Amino acid sequence: MKVVFLEEVEGTARTGDVKNVADGFARNYLLPRKLAAPATKHYIAIAEQKATKEAKREDRLDGEARDRLFPLIDGQEMTIEVLVGEQGKLFGSVTSRDIAERLQKDTGVELEHRQVHLNQPIREIGTHEVPVRLTRNVIANITVNVHPEGGMPEPEPEPEAAEETEAAAEDEATEATAEDETTETAADEPAATEASADDSPAEEAAPAPAEETATTETPDAPDEATEDEEKGAASREGS
């Protein structure tokens, strides 16, 4: 069906446009809502008048947006903190509604979330350039910095890295134990030397009493020559 649009239908047509549309779309949606009418001369003339008025209104709104809103919003930079998982992925996402609410808070300009043009919600940390449509012909650009709340979580070490870390820790522990044992051995050596020095005189003096005892306990052997002489003298006296 050929219709003329009496109102703008976003994504489909502007006021005054004449287009062919599906019969069902026209009968069930456009015509009942008076968004369009059959493309007759009468309705086309009405649509053209409305289009002229709409163009003047747009020019006025564009001028106001350039003078008042654009300086407040264009170049704005905001930081939004979100919860982030270990792989840097967001828990949830940053939506056009989140950005519109933050803009209103920062600038005092009330915007509909549809004016914030995101192809899809933001699901990654980093810096994102986002267009904001103030009117059909006036577009501001803002910067949205998405940061992890509380900083990035530390990633878990990979298996190989974890094994290397454990091996390094074991090596350090072994070296520390060896150093402690060396220190204890070095501390014990002077004490052992002193003990040896104290024991030496006792060991050297021990044999001396043994020699004296042998000398004292062993009787002197009789002089055999003297006994023979005495026996000979006695024999001579008897004769």
pLDDT digits (tens, 9 = 90+) for 218-237: 444 444 445 555 555 555 55
This prediction's pTM: 0.56
The Cα 37–Cα 29 span in angstroms is 11
Residues 35 and 24 in one domain: yes
Residues 29 and 79 in one domain: no
Q: Note whether residue 230 is domain-resident.
A: no
Boundaries of domain holding 121 = 75-148
Residues 60 and 86 in one domain: no
What's the structural domain count of the chain?
A: 2
Residues 8 and 30 in one domain: yes
Domain end, chosen from 148, 168, 202, is at 148
Q: Would you state the pLDDT for residue 159?
A: 58
The Cα 112–Cα 65 span in angstroms is 15
CA torsion sign for 156, 157, 163, 167 is negative
- Both tokens assigned to 191: 């004490």
Domain end, chosen from 109, 130, 148, is at 148
- Count the neighbouring beta carbons within 10 Å of the beta carbon of residue 65: 19
Sequence letter at residue 48: E
Alpha-carbon distance values, 214 to 22, 168, 208, 218, 234 (Å) = 142, 70, 10, 6, 36
- Averages of pLDDT over each 10 residues, the chain, 239 residues: 94 94 96 96 96 94 95 95 80 92 93 93 93 95 91 58 62 62 54 48 46 44 50 50
Q: What's the chain's length in residues?
A: 239
The answer to whether the beta carbons of residues 35 and 103 sit under 8 Å apart is no
69-78 tens-digit pLDDT: 999 999 999 9
Residues 37 and 100 in one domain: no
Q: What is the largest CA-CA distance in the chain?
A: 201
